[in-house]
Amino acid sequence: MWTQLLLLLALAPFHWGYARAAASSLDELLAEPLRRIPYLHVLLRQGRQLQEDARNSDAMWFMQLTDVPHILHSYDERRPLELDSRLAELDKRASLVLVVSLAQLVASSGAVSSADRAGVYFYIVADVPDSLSREQQLQLEQSSRRLWTQHRVFNRYILVAGDVWIYDPFAGEWDGNVMGYDEDFGRLIPYAGGEPLSTQLFHDMRGYPLRVQIFKSVYSRPQLDPETGLLRSITGVDWEVALVIAEALNFTMLLQQPDKNYFGERSANGSYNGAIGSILNDGLDVCLTGFFVKDYLVQEYMDFTVAVYDDQLCIYAPKASRIPQSILPIFAVGYDIWLGFILMAFVCAFIWLLLRILNLRLHIISAQSRRLWQQALGILVDTWVVWVRVNLSHLPESYAERMFIGSLCLVSVIFGAIFESSLSTVYIHPLHYKDILTLQDLDDSGLKVVYKYTSMADDLFFSETSPLYASLNKKLWWNRDLNADVTKEVATVGGKASVSRYSSLMMESVNFLLMRRIWIVPECPKYYTISYVLPRDAPWEEAINAQLLRMLNAGLIPKWIQDQKYRVTVTTRKALNEQAEATEVRVLTIGDLQLAFYVVIVGTLLASIAFLAEHVFFRRRVRQATKKL
């Protein structure tokens, strides 16, 4: 600090008193605006004026009395900054201090014509010794207004003889006529310190018209007039957000007609349509429909607000078909239970046989007339008889075997109970074949994946990441008709899968989900945060972000999302309940008995075959017997 002061003393002995007076007021006025600036470029006019500019008290204040580091340049004030070769490395987003003449500033020509609005500009008017006259003020106001209307440049502080002037684009009287807005609006006013312009000016935009677009998406529902096709009203979370921002910043929403191209697609020549196209062509001030935060290749022209919500991209496919009634009982329990049931019967028969052999060997029971293999066959049949809970007509002699049969009965009761309860469940809640659970299953199924918006699909399956993604990427198929109802096609016609936002499915297609027409693959390939978009470096960006953060802090946006979900749930439940009432009590019909009849038919066939075999066998035996006689 002391070395700086000494330097100042040595440099400007004659200006000392004046510099101190100016400095103290600048200290106060510009403290806040400078706080957020990491460094400054100080531009002094080249040639003859360089010495003079360097001794300018305001320029000296920036160079010596602030804590902000600076880089010193000389420049030609008659030449636009972009064209000045000495300033080639100047960052477009940097903040500048320029010493200029009033004539240049009023004419907005040369170095002052810059349309960059990312940085903060401090103009030091060197050739006006006293305060601005009324006439000079009006001239400056005119030129500032021109910069605002043409390029939305506003972040400028004009330092004249110790005063700081700013252009407030929202001050003044407005008669409410949108067309006449720019002519009579905006005033050059003295800056009273406090917050930097990017927040201060936007506390009250006094009804300034902003072109806002909200098109149809998950959380925004514009209603169009069926006759004229014009926007009539909007509902949804995005609309609630829009209302709150408009009220907080006090701007007038000029609602644009929803773009029929929605988000916008890039065409071969690099131009865009849709909302992105409007932003690129300066047709839109803010778009309050959520965009995925990702690279749309337009980062030079478009900015995202803070993230407002998030969502997943999920694949949905037709629900697997129902298992037909005729074979339903077979699928009532899992294959492991079937396997256990059948294998256990053989194992138990084997144990029973071991008991029998042991009994015979130890002569606990007397050897029966039948051979061992006949006894074994009898045991197998008896085991199955117990297994399917039929009574045994005669019990074995040995008590050990009887005990064993008792335990078999209990096992068969348990199996039977499991089977019967599963059977009644599947008759009431129909069973389906296995659904697509993973992306690998999806790939194996061979379904093509239809998408509507290119922005959804361009990095959905990044081919480089894995062979699976490369294969899935080949199955993507673009449906160019933005009005097509792909979900309905998938649900009714089937034969393809599609990609959509998870909440979109939960909001708009919940009836298909509840009616089990579509199935969401649980493995979702992408997760995105979602933001609104506005033109790059839009003046109101910071103010809108601040309002969005306040709403998020208060939990308002999640609340509105919950409300909307709740309303959707209530309406779909109501609609489905009417349909469902008829089917609520499932009455079993003859159709459910199909398998029983098939079994009877098969049994009859087997019995007939056995009868024929026996008949032939018996005839031959009789013939042999008569021959012997």
Ligand X SMILES: *[C@@H]1O[C@H](CO)[C@@H](O)[C@H](O)[C@H]1NC(C)=O
Binding positions for ligand X, rule: CB under 6 A: 204, 206-207, 250, 267, 269, 271
CB of 270 to ligand X, least distance (A): 7
The smaller minimum CB distance to ligand X, of residues 296 and 519, is found at: 296
Q: Pairing state of beta strands 40-45 and 95-100? A: parallel
Burial of 449 (0-12, 13-18, 19+ CB in 10 A): buried
Of 220, 225, 163, residue with least CA distance to 28: 163
How large is the C-alpha radius of gyration of the chain? 42
The smaller minimum CB distance to ligand X, of residues 271 and 374, is found at: 271
The smaller minimum CB distance to ligand X, of residues 175 and 227, is found at: 175
Contact between 433 and 323 (Cβ < 8 Å): yes
Q: Pairing state of beta strands 302-318 and 526-535? A: antiparallel
What do you get for the CA distance between the two ends of the chain, in Å? 141
Q: In the structure encoding, which two tokens stand for residue 434, read together?
A: 């296995």
DSSP 612: H
CB of 453 to ligand X, least distance (A): 17
Which one-letter amino acid corresponds to residue 292? F
CB of 275 to ligand X, least distance (A): 16
CB of 554 to ligand X, least distance (A): 19
CB of 268 to ligand X, least distance (A): 6
CB of 206 to ligand X, least distance (A): 4
The smaller minimum CB distance to ligand X, of residues 264 and 525, is found at: 264
CB of 148 to ligand X, least distance (A): 17
Of 246, 242, 483, residue with least CA distance to 233: 242
Neighbouring CB atoms inside 10 A of 51's CB total 9
Q: In the structure encoding, which two tokens stand for residue 101, read together?
A: 């003449």
- CA dihedral angle for residue 231, residue 235, residue 236, residue 242, rounded to 10 degrees: 70
CB of 210 to ligand X, least distance (A): 13
For residues 238 and 240, what is the distance between their CA atoms, to the nearest angstrom? 5
The smaller minimum CB distance to ligand X, of residues 250 and 445, is found at: 250
The smaller minimum CB distance to ligand X, of residues 248 and 530, is found at: 248
The smaller minimum CB distance to ligand X, of residues 57 and 278, is found at: 278
**Which alpha helices (H) appear in 281-398, and where do they start and end?**
328-331, 335-361, 372-387
**Which alpha helices (H) appear in 36-133, and where do they start and end?**
49-54, 57-60, 102-107
The smaller minimum CB distance to ligand X, of residues 253 and 447, is found at: 253
